[in-house]
Homo-oligomer: A and B are copies of this chain.
Amino acid sequence: MRIAILAHEKFPDRAKTALGILRYSDDEVIAVLDRDDAGTRVADFVRDVQDAPIVSRMSDVDGPVDALVIGIAPIGGGFDESWREDVRTALERGCDVISGLHYFLADDAEFAALAAENDCELWDVRKPPTDLTVSEGIAADVDADVILTVGTDCSVGKMTVSMELARAAREAGHDAAVIPTGQTGIMIEGWGNPIDRVVSDFAAGAVEEMIVEKGDEHDYLFVEGQGSIVHPAYSAVTCGILHGAMADRLVLCHDAGREAIHGYESFILPSIPTYVDLYEDLASPVRETTVAAGALNTARIDDEATARRELEAYEGELGVPASDVVRFGAEPILEAIL
């Protein structure tokens, strides 16, 4: 697929979905829409991802294009009316439009009519399938080893770590797949259940269903974790994934220097060993598992030596190997978990 990514005014630092797609998707990105940076290129801002021109609007995207992806998510997940012209243009050109917003494009009368008229698909990835049901407790029966990323908080890098570990495992000759559970992962992989939007009774079941579907086709499944088991708002999602996945091994993801729950600053993060105990003790009555490795996000630390020291300290607290998968590579983690 040839795709364009909408990221107005937010590329690259506040465009997590756009960056994830540029970094991990098999699709060819032919343009990024950001009216603030039109005329530059992706490579001017970010290395190690696909390069593409940055343009002002959909009508500036040259050549055939299969889909427009909404690559940013404003707080609250609403649709910004300043994007309407771009979505309209895409549909008029026969492009599908893929969105992870809470606002469902398929429920927008104008977009629905244009999509029908031009035979395009509106794919709202956050709209869960209607046939989900409760977990049977059978995810552990699949042939694949299941590795779940868990975190000390939201936005610590669980999706990135899952993608990097799967990629590194494949490069090492293993048959590995990602089980996507959130909007960016689903957009990158082209399928998946958005666990945060699933009815809470079906959260574990929606994870189990994906593992059962893919588990006999691969040697390793890397399940994208969500939230944190002690998050005041999102722990239900985390707990449903933990028990639904019945993982063989866990990788604990942390953002170097973070001391409180992001956006809930009065809630101080427990110690790293406390997280290890919480995840292992909570998982074990359903499926015995261990935190077998750690992933530390050191992106906010400029100095390499400081980042290395932080990583060593994190490994010391964990008692198992760890790495920053972007900065130092996935190998130390892979060695510990495969």
Contacts and interface: CB of A to CB of B under 8 A. Distances in A.
Contact of A270 (B137, B197, B285): B285
A294 B234 CA distance: 28
A212 B229 CA distance: 23
Contacts of A204: 232-236
A194 B78 CA distance: 25
A266 B137 contact: yes
Interface residues of A, number: 43
Contacts of A278: 281-282
A131 to B, nearest CB: 13
A205 B230 contact: no
A71 interface: no
26 contacts: A134-B234, A136-B232, A137-B267, A197-B201, A198-B200, A199-B199, A200-B203, A200-B240, A201-B237, A204-B232, A204-B234, A204-B236, A229-B239, A230-B285, A231-B243, A232-B243, A233-B243, A235-B239, A235-B242, A235-B243, A236-B236, A236-B239, A268-B285, A274-B285, A277-B281, A281-B281
Interface of A: 134-137, 195-201, 203-205, 229-240, 242-244, 246, 264, 266-270, 274, 277-278, 281-282, 285-286
